[in-house]
Structure 1
Amino acid sequence: MLIDSHCHLDFEDFAEDRSAILERAQAAGVQEILIAAVVQKHWPRVQVLAAENTGIWAAAGVHPNEPEAETPSMDNLLAALSAEKVVAVGETGLDYFRSEGDLRWQQERFARHIAASKATGKPVIVHTREAAADTLGLLRSEDARASGGVIHCFTENWEFARAVLDMGFYISLSGIVTFKKSLDLQAVARKLPADRLLVETDSPYLAPTPLRGKRNEPAYVRHVAQFLAELRAESFADLAQQTTDNFHHLFTRTVAA
């Protein structure tokens, strides 16, 4: 059994064949999926997909590259996080690659999501790009350790990995780790403790080798897991079971809380 710990199955990219995508995921052994929202107006459709499908979970948040005006209120965040099968806050974080100028609004939005995470006990899903120092700084200053979370689509170095692991966070690897030029990331992947590792697609983006360039989908998380098992000299069965256990420890424990 595998779990795609981060995807965007609600996107219009999947509108015409979503049922077939879910069937292909099941056939590939991917029995559970977490859909992360990126804008507030998408929260209802993400929640509906989770509520109507066994094995699908949802997260509510606003991506850092969405404009300042899209920042949700704390009341709206808390309301969304109370919905059925919403198990996480996100995705959220900092992205200085696509956004320019004074980005304090990104930092304030990220802090609000962390506060919602602590208020609900639901972990935060963190996106970070070219913002490593500020991401770590906010995770520390806002005491994100209190509710925990995951750095999704991880591409940072070992020093960053060690810092977030020390805060109790998990690290999720996407198809990027399978790319030929991702040697530094592969070196980090070998070192990651087995009990903090997750796998994801971030679909429709970042299809793994040997499917690079195609639309990504949850079934393809199997390629990420197979690559990592070989890279880490582990059996595929062990890595699949461990990442599944890790997912449930981090996320769905909140359902019964």
Structure 2
Amino acid sequence: MSYEQFAYLYDELMKDAPYDQWVEFVKNILVKYDVHAAKLLDLACGTGELSVRFAKQGFDVTGIDLSEDMLAVAQAKAEANSVKIPFFQQNMANLEGQGQFNVIGIFCDSLNYLQTEDEVKTTFSNVHQHLRTNGVFIFDVHSIFKMTDVFLNQTFALNEEEVSYIWNSFPGEHPNSVEHELSFFVLDERTGKYDRIDELHFQRTYPINQYAHWLDAAGFEILEISADFEHLEPAPTSERIFFVAKKK
């Protein structure tokens, strides 16, 4: 999966994402479970939208992402917002050597980009090693309902003057997986013509009880499982599932 050009279009694709709700969700969790959260690791931080928001809220943030280009955008964004955030290039499934944190988050369904069960289990194990005792791990994933009833065989589109896209979603190779085929059309102001950029992205999810089993096996105590930012139990039509787990 290549992010070389996609990194600079990601914010356009995600411009309506409820980033502030993620921040409030995390803050509420930390108050609810009395977690001191000086050090926060934003794992799979992308272009740094959440990293910057957390830093501006007073967190000591570290950002990690697989994509060098995403991290370049994130670093520029941090500088523009006058916050100091160290960013490192690593695969979340190969997390190592980053010290320990009070809170580790994998937000914006980034965990769904891991392609195998082993990668998810390894990520949980590595997160456990990088958490302080009683530290919390917070992540969200797409529900099976969203994969099968919202994404599959659907087309999404944006038509604006400078950037437009067509986004088609197809069944993936594995159960509860999706391939996202994206075609961006970006205005070149020098020529007045549009450049086409094509991307293919893969996402895969699992049943809630499977994630819970893997968390338990990695040494976590599950504090809560909720849906759609509401701190309520998932329903059959919930689209985003949140997990909050504590290092035993």
What TM-score do the two structures reach when normalised by structure 1? Answer: 0.33
User: Normalised by the size of structure 2, how large is the TM-score?
Assistant: 0.34
Q: Which has the higher contact order (CA 8 A, sep 6+)?
A: 1
